[in-house]
Amino acid sequence: ETELPLKRYPTLNAFFTRNLKQGCRPIATTEIVSPVDGKCLEWGDIHEGQLLQAKGLPYRLEDLLPDSAHFFKDGAFLTIYLAPSDCHRIFSPLEGEISQMTHIPGILKPVREPHISHTPQLYTKNERVSTLIKTRHGMATLVLVGATNVGNMSATFDPSLRTNTDNKNVSTRDYSPTHDIKKGDWIHTFH
């Protein structure tokens, strides 16, 4: 399903961030689609500001999204794990406008089993990027959680994003005008 023959990727990162062949992932006609190829690990409603990491291990919404938790206190969540063999491009799950992006520095621990079941607050400790999307249904966010060997994240709509650096400060970028996106548009990449 890779866009190019294997020999045409000059580096491991070029292969890891590869595009797929045109048409191999047709965008569904549903209003919301998955933003990635991957395995759904957890999903559900956000109760009293708590989300579920794995096997009953909770974490706090305010710790995950320090600048935008208030938008999602009565929302729902979905956690999708990307294995090394998955495409590491992230696509918009719905149509809307990107209004804000926040980079939250952190550590880079593994985000696979057994770590997610035994490391409390793992997703809130790891480095991450949160992208706010205004939709006709309200606000949505995509949260990219970095991991060991996958700490560099980029944004197609803002090439100035730099992650996995020595900077330890949370940085938020508000976009005015906003960036219009369609369902299925490529917006982020894990490197």
Distance CA 149, CA 146 (A): 8
**Is the alpha carbon torsion for 92, 32, 183, 88 positive or negative?**
positive
pLDDT in the model for residue 155? 98
Distance CA 68, CA 177 (A): 19
**Is the alpha carbon torsion for 95, 34, 170, 154 positive or negative?**
negative
Contact (Cβ atoms closer than 8 angstroms) between residue 190 and residue 156: no
- Could you tell me the pTM of the whole model? 0.93
Instruction: List the chain pLDDT tens, one digit each, 191 residues.
Output: 899 999 999 999 999 999 999 888 899 999 999 999 899 999 999 999 999 998 789 999 999 999 899 999 889 999 999 998 899 999 999 999 999 999 999 999 999 999 999 999 999 999 999 999 999 989 999 999 999 999 999 999 999 999 999 989 999 999 999 999 999 999 999 99
pLDDT in the model for residue 9? 95
